[in-house]
Amino acid sequence: MTLLISISAAVISTLVWYCNARARNLKIGTLVLMYWGASLMWLVDACAEYIEIGSAYFTPAAADMLNDAFLGFTVVVLGMVIWIASLLIRDPAGTLHNVLSKNH
Amino acid sequence: MACFIVPTTEAIVTTIGKKMMQKHEEKHPVSTDKISFSEKLGWLNKLLWGGSALLAMEHLWHGEISPFPPFLTAAADAQELTVVLHEMATSGVGMAVLVTAVWGVMCVVSDKIHLKQLVNQEQSDSTTEEVPV
């Protein structure tokens, strides 16, 4: 479930990056690479688990699925938080700099 | 259990490599018909750091790591530590290899696209020069 959610987030963010120039200016590429990196790593994890437990991998218990889904969404939000923090630190449009210099 | 440590270690190495490469490229500028290697290393850094950070969150979620020493909850038990090391050697190395392989493909494809764009641009430039005024 976590793998599915992270791949979905990676695909959606890639589409936004591809279609929207404003999003590219906001360095959404960082978020795209983060999600793809995590998705690839979870893919390896999933393969290792499949080798270990076989087809039982595809029939998880409902409670496990719910927990994994909750984790997946938490991870997606964490990715966004890291991206927004890096955006504010880099401040590519100079917005933060302008706001702070106006106040002083 | 601690598989993300392997890609994190690779991320540290590639981050240092990127800094060194940037310094080298500042001294010896590369031609514009290629995407600089430091920029490509930046992509790998983001893939590795981002993936490792999100995986660390998963391990924290499952109680496999803790924010306090010894950080790995399995480190207290020697038998569990063997399992951790085995997982690092299998899943961890697999993660690092897969991410690096995908990055390698990204580099080759992006170079080809960049080269194609340059050729198209040169062709359009030459045809506009040939047009009689």
Ordered DSSP codes for chain A: -HHHHHHHHHHHHHHHHHH-HHHHHTTHHHHHHHHHHHHHHHHHHHHHHHHHHGGGGGS--HHHHHHHHHHHHHHHHHHHHHHHHHHHHH-TT-HHHHHHHHH-
In this prediction the ipTM stands at: 0.87
Does B94 contact A48 at a Cβ distance shorter than 8 Å?
yes
Calculate how close chain B gets to A19, using CA atoms only, in Å. 18
Calculate how close chain B gets to A72, using CA atoms only, in Å. 9
The predicted structure's pLDDT at residue A104: 65
Query: What is the band of B130 on the pLDDT scale with cuts at 50, 70, 90?
Result: low
The predicted structure's pLDDT at residue B78: 78
Does B54 contact A6 at a Cβ distance shorter than 8 Å?
yes
Which three-class secondary structure state does DSSP give residue B63?
coil
- H/E stretch holding B78 reads helix B78-87
Which chain A residue has its CA at the smallest distance from B1's CA?
A45
A40 in contact with chain B, both atoms CB, cutoff 8 A: yes
Q: Residue range B8-24: average pLDDT?
A: 92
Between A and B, how many CB-CB pairs are < 8 A? 80
Q: Residue A11 carries which side chain, given as an amino acid letter? A: V
Q: Which residue has the higher pLDDT, A2 or B69?
A: A2
Question: Shortest CB distance from A33 goes to which of B3, B50, B61?
Answer: B50
Query: What is the band of A7 on the pLDDT scale with cuts at 50, 70, 90?
Result: very high
Question: Shortest CB distance from B58 goes to which of A30, A36, A71?
Answer: A71
Which chain A residue has its CA at the smallest distance from B55's CA?
A38
The whole-angstrom separation of Cα B1 and Cα A67 is 17
Query: What is the band of B93 on the pLDDT scale with cuts at 50, 70, 90?
Result: very high
B40: number of Cβ within 10 Å: 19
pTM of the predicted structure, to 2 decimals? 0.86
The predicted structure's pLDDT at residue B131: 59
A17 in contact with chain B, both atoms CB, cutoff 8 A: no
Is residue A10 scored above 90 in pLDDT?
yes
B35-51 pLDDT tens trace: 888 899 999 999 999 99
A44-88 pLDDT tens trace: 999 998 998 888 888 889 999 999 999 999 999 999 999 999 999
Is residue B133 scored above 70 in pLDDT?
no
């106040």: which residue's tokens?
A: A103
